[in-house]
A and B are shown apart, each in its own frame.
Chain A
């Protein structure tokens, strides 16, 4: 919250400073200082402030001064508009007065005093005016910040709900399988016991199976809860391959994944990374889900639409881990789907960018946010011959004392 207050305060102070000594650079510098405010839409705010500074620039002030000199004969200048040709000129003052020898000096003195007071009056008005404008601007800046905050919070919430929502189909299927098995084992046992055609020892096998299936369901629930849990990232030394494997397994729960070929090309000699495993799993999950969706769409060049007898339409997803040239741990996910359309290219990672009905388009935006917070960068590009590759790299974990 301190960040929020810092901006308007800095701006108010600046309003005075500028009026006293106009200096546009100070403004920008001060704004940079307030960049520590989280979620600040930095470029816009800075450019808005830059727009504000020109009227306060030395040149503009000189211009105002010139206007004041010309308006000197007016009783009280109520406004700043340019006067037309009809306005009396300063020369007119002299011509209206008697021609005494001391008079020119007196007149000059009086004129100077009048000029001075008028100048002060005007400058005061102008200062108040610019201060008012800056305050308004600061309030607006604050509102923008507030809105941005709300937007972020909404995005975060959509992320939670959306991720679970988009996974709901796979999740329901995955949970219903063990539940169905449990009910079948139980009811089959009940019927046998009721008909008296069962030795107690014969019950052991179905009961063991029931337990196993209940544990399977509980595992699923536990994992989902971990995935949607909010909280600060908890970074630990982790094996990227473990994370990738889990993410792929979860992504495969999505509808359509069973038609695709998956290839995992994992470098087993990778150094550990220092990450929040759950967050990173989520990031990889979204990237893989995206690839599954793309590879499953079947409208790839050379692909035969509707050739289901081949039982797969040739969709392929490859997940690769390796150490790249920069010595960082790289994860790349390649699909042979329709690739990246030109209209989507510029906003691949922006929220709500989606080509899929019923999808929110949050996936890659979430992934990018998570990866960036782990000092990585997510990039996506089209693959020659169709398809797309998304990859990111992470710094290896610093050596621990155990190493």
Chain B
């Protein structure tokens, strides 16, 4: 996985260079792009890091690029910066999912902190995504019986009740349960529940 990087997309050479000089001073890895198009070419869905995006650029504007990125399967946090912003522009940026909106010239401390937050968040969300993918894979590896046991264990049913419901012996339930726990990589019931809750794909009702 590539190292967390700040991608600066700005058509102004001086702004790009200076931002890179600033961010590198706090040990960040920075890559600069002179246009939205150039960034899109280099963009990969599993890109780790955060994008600092100028709104006004020749060709594709920052806001358009943002809308394109929002359609990508993996969300990369975006901080929008502009030389001259208005409320409408800020609203549009935030609605399209920007983490923050800064007007140039900005307070370096605030921007650095925000970028750091974004990088951490992105790292966390990427770790979450990896965990979720692994969980889904493991869940898919369960047999039908194991899956039935898994679902009933998760809601707190006893082995005896599971055996009754499925019409099999308690001993058989225990065997399925042990195998299921092993396949899921859970050492305890608590761990299995925690894993299931955190990795459950968000239900449509919960999604914003």
Contact = CB atoms under 8 A, between A and B. Distances in A.
Contacts of B24: 188
A183 B57 contact: no
18 contacts: A172-B83, A173-B82, A173-B84, A176-B83, A177-B83, A180-B15, A184-B18, A184-B22, A184-B105, A187-B108, A188-B23, A188-B108, A189-B25, A191-B22, A258-B56, A259-B58, A259-B61, A308-B64
Interface residues of B, number: 29
A246 B14 CA distance: 22
Contact of A181 (B17, B26, B82, B103): B17
B21 interface: yes
Contacts of B83: 172-174, 176-177, 180
B25 A192 contact: yes
Interface string B10-39: 001011011101111110000000000100
Contacts of A188: 18, 21-25, 108
Given A169-B84, A188-B22, A259-B59, 4 more contacts: A177-B14, A179-B104, A183-B105, A192-B25
Nearest to B103: A176
B108 A184 contact: yes
A61 interface: no
A188 B61 CA distance: 27
A140 interface: no
A191 B111 CA distance: 14
B84 A181 contact: no
Nearest to B111: A184
B106 interface: yes
Given A177-B12, A180-B106, A185 B18 contact: yes
A206 B26 CA distance: 16
Contacts of B197: none
A184 B57 contact: no
A189 B19 CA distance: 11
Interface in A211-268: 212-213, 216, 255, 258-259
A172 B85 CA distance: 9
Given A173-B84, A187-B22, A180 B104 contact: yes
Interface string A250-291: 000001001100000000000000000000000000000000
A209 B61 CA distance: 26
B60 interface: yes
A312 interface: yes
B107 to A, nearest CB: 9
Given A191-B26, A258-B58, A181 B14 contact: yes
Nearest to A178: B14
A181 B64 CA distance: 24
A395 B56 CA distance: 39
Interface residues of A, number: 32
A180 B64 CA distance: 23
Contact of B56 (A173, A216, A311, A312): A173
A182 interface: yes
Interface in B54-70: 56-61, 64
Contact of B15 (A172, A184, A255): A184
Given A181-B14, A183-B108, A176 B84 contact: yes
Interface string A142-185: 00000000000000000000000000011011101111111111
B15 A258 contact: no
Nearest to B59: A311
A180 B21 contact: no
A189 B25 CA distance: 7
A183 B61 CA distance: 24
B15 A181 contact: yes
A181 B83 CA distance: 11
A230 to B, nearest CB: 27
5 smallest A-B Cβ distances: which pairs?
Answer: A173-B83, A184-B18, A180-B104, A188-B22, A180-B105
A178 B25 CA distance: 20
Given A179-B104, A209-B17, A258 B12 contact: no
Contact of B19 (A184, A195, A213): A184
Contacts of B26: 191
Nearest to B102: A180
A213 B105 contact: no
Q: Of residues B15, B23, B26, B82, which shows the largest number of chain A Cβ atoms within 10 Å of its Cβ?
A: B15
A303 to B, nearest CB: 17
A153 B150 CA distance: 85
Nearest to B54: A177
B59 A258 contact: yes
Interface in A95-118: none
Contacts of B21: 184-185, 188-189, 206
Q: Which of B19, B64, B84 has the most chain A CB within a 10 Å cutoff?
A: B84
A66 B33 CA distance: 95
Contact of B18 (A172, A180, A311): A180
B108 A213 contact: no
A176 B64 contact: no
Contact of B57 (A181, A187, A258): A258
B47 to A, nearest CB: 21
A391 B56 CA distance: 30
Nearest to B106: A180
B90 to A, nearest CB: 14
A43 B153 CA distance: 97
B97 to A, nearest CB: 17
